Every structure is written in C-alpha cells, then in structure tokens.
Amino acid sequence: MEEAPPHHTPEFRINEDVLLTGVRTHAYFVVDYLAGEGRERVGGR
C-alpha cells in the first residue's frame, strides 16, 4: 500500500478514478444552489 501524503490522516486515500465525477457533482450542486434551485430543500431562503 502506498504511503499517504502528509496533508491528511494516514487512512486517507484519493481514488483518482472517480475524482472528476466527484468534482463535477459538487460543482453542479454549487451552481444550482447559487442559482436558487434547491434552496428550499436545503433550508435556504
């Protein structure tokens, strides 16, 4: 097993195979939220 980089706990491992999917998903969520879509579901105004 590879050694983890020092920026996280030793148990932290990045799965680069799904990194792009995760980043894309979070970006879409942020854009939708800032556009006002879904604020009611998250408890916003």
- Domain regions of the chain by residue span: 14-45
Residue 12 neighbours by CB under 8 Å, 6+ apart: 4
DSSP 4-23: PPTTS-TT----TTTHHHHH
pLDDT tens for the chain, residues 1 to 45: 566 556 667 777 778 999 999 999 999 999 988 888 766 665 655
pLDDT at position 15 is: 86
pLDDT for position 22:
94
Query: Which pLDDT score is estimated for 40?
Result: 62
